[in-house]
Chains A and B, each alone.
Chain A
Amino acid sequence: QKEVEQDPGPLSVPEGAIVSLNCTYSNSAFQYFMWYRQYSRKGPELLMYTYSSGNKEDGRFTAQVDKSSKYISLFIRDSQPSDSATYLCAMSGMGNNRLAFGKGNQVVVIP
């Protein structure tokens, strides 16, 4: 079983729709949870960062972490064509020097 599972299927949504992405994980030591966005031919950029369980909102983006279920989510409201990218979940434990990544979801927002 991989440490982080993210269904890599592509997702196409019409402009203005809500995009919902999620990851599950198996390592109970993970405490720091992140979402990265990666545009084509670019490196990943940090989008959202959450410590432990709870919700975090930043503009149109909401990240949720449920440590009891080992499940994290990212919601994008009022999606725009500029949100078309691959979204990767990532997580790490306390004092750990590495991130464990999901495989990523390619999201296409259709105008």
Chain B
Amino acid sequence: KAGVTQTPRYLIKTRGQQVTLSCSPISGHRSVSWYQQTPGQGLQFLFEYFSETQRNKGNFPGRFSGRQFSNSRSEMNVSTLELGDSALYLCASSLVTAANYGYTFGSGTRLTVV
């Protein structure tokens, strides 16, 4: 059974650019959540999608956005990149909407903003 697939694995962007990250959840999982992981802040919740609808959003500026497609694949976009956006971006999928039974995480996309 394939796990959660995130592409690309590594990305280097310049300040002011925008970036799109992709996530393919485990087959049959309809909930996809995104987290940002940094050494200083740890894992912080960005947003969660279920059946193409954003169900929950974390405390991030509007430059961070996402969407989910009918096949449950999800993308997140960061516009006007800042140096502080450098982080590991993790996608997680689950069968149900609640996080109560845990997620399955992908290996992440390492974004470096220079």
**A-to-B contact residues, CB < 8 Å:** 8, 31-32, 34, 36, 41-46, 49, 51, 88, 90, 92, 94-104
Contact = CB atoms under 8 A, between A and B. Distances in A.
A95 B103 contact: no
Interface of B: 4, 31, 33, 35, 41-45, 48, 50, 55-56, 58, 90, 92, 97-108
Contact of B105 (A43, A92, A95): A43
Contacts, number: 71
A73 to B, nearest CB: 18
Contacts of B105: 36, 43-45
B3 to A, nearest CB: 9
Nearest to B55: A97
Nearest to B94: A97
Nearest to B4: A43
